[in-house]
Amino acid sequence: MKKITVIGGGNMGFTYAESIYNSNLDASIEVLEKSVERIDEINNLNTISAGDDFSILKDSDVIFLAVKPQIAPSVFEGIKELLNKEQLVVSIMAGTTIETIQNGLGLDKVVRAMPNLPSQVKLGVTTYVGSNEVSTQDLELVGGILETTGEAILVENEDAIDKSTGISGSGPGFVFYMMNAMVAAAENLGFSPEQSKTLVSQTFGGAVKLYEENDISLTEWMDRVASKGGTTIAGLNYLDEVNVGEGIQGCVKTCVARAFELGGKKQ
């Protein structure tokens, strides 16, 4: 049985801990957290064990780093002496490179991953890549862990991790932005907040399902919805006129540029 320890009991750290706990993986799971209130919240669920005794890291096989990148240096300093070269570290810290983690912890076996918020409902997608010292067997283990929250995609290098930030990592925020605009439009047309939520969420969910379950391009789907001289084509033409498509691509590029910047790299 693998012993997995998650450092950080926030949204994403707890999501992975809970998903591992509820999975069929042959693993034990514990959460390390500094906040006494958060420790009590997790322990009161009577499922996952949480605490602040960092000495348990000495016996961990896999260590998940789920803390904010800004406090990474202090976390590294606090746990470095507790770790050994055989341990596998998995980081979900945005913009923190494998090299930074290796230097900070004095370890070689590091996997960097980029999850997203829908992981909380088992519909996430996580990209991941390992350092040269991470074995194929270790990568398979990490892939299995990440898949407890949805899909996991092994990429070729860290640049792909930063690039995926603009699509999947930050992408839910962009989707929520578009949904928010459509909910506002629905309410302005006289629908109640509850009706507007249903209209928009079902529309997005249904469209995603159609795209997911059929081998049809998005352009073809748009053609199927839009008839000549109809309502949909009028709306699509307006979106083209105000360059919404270019704006979305610009949004993604800006996000990716920021991800590279956080990692101290140039795109």
Q: What is the pLDDT of residue 33?
A: 95
Helix 244-262, helix 171-188: angle, nearest 10:
140
CB 256 within 8 A of CB 267: yes
Spatial distance between the Cα atoms of 142 and 57, rounded to a whole number of angstroms:
18
Is residue 1 very low, low, confident or very high in pLDDT (cuts 50, 70, 90)? Answer: confident
Spatial distance between the Cα atoms of 192 and 186, rounded to a whole number of angstroms:
8
pLDDT tens-digit map of 177-209: 999 999 999 999 999 999 999 999 999 999 999
Q: Which of 87, 89, 42 is nearest to 65 (CA)?
A: 89
Domains and CATH numbers, the chain: 2-156 (3.40.50.720), 171-262 (1.10.3730.10)
Amino acid identity of residue 23, one-letter, is S
Q: Which of 71, 125, 62, 121 is nearest to 90 (CA)?
A: 62
Whole-number average pLDDT of the chain:
94
Structure tokens at 64: 């998940």
pLDDT > 70 in the chain, percent = 99
Strand, coil or helix: 267: coil
Q: What is the pLDDT of residue 264?
A: 76
First-to-last C-alpha distance (Å) of the chain: 41
Is residue 267 very low, low, confident or very high in pLDDT (cuts 50, 70, 90)? Answer: low
Q: Where are the beta strands (DSSP E) in 8-146?
A: 27-32, 49-51, 62-65, 88-91, 110-114, 124-130
Q: In this structure, are strands 110-114 and 124-130 parallel, antiparallel, or unpaired?
A: antiparallel
Q: What is the pLDDT of residue 66?
A: 95
Spatial distance between the Cα atoms of 139 and 130, rounded to a whole number of angstroms:
7
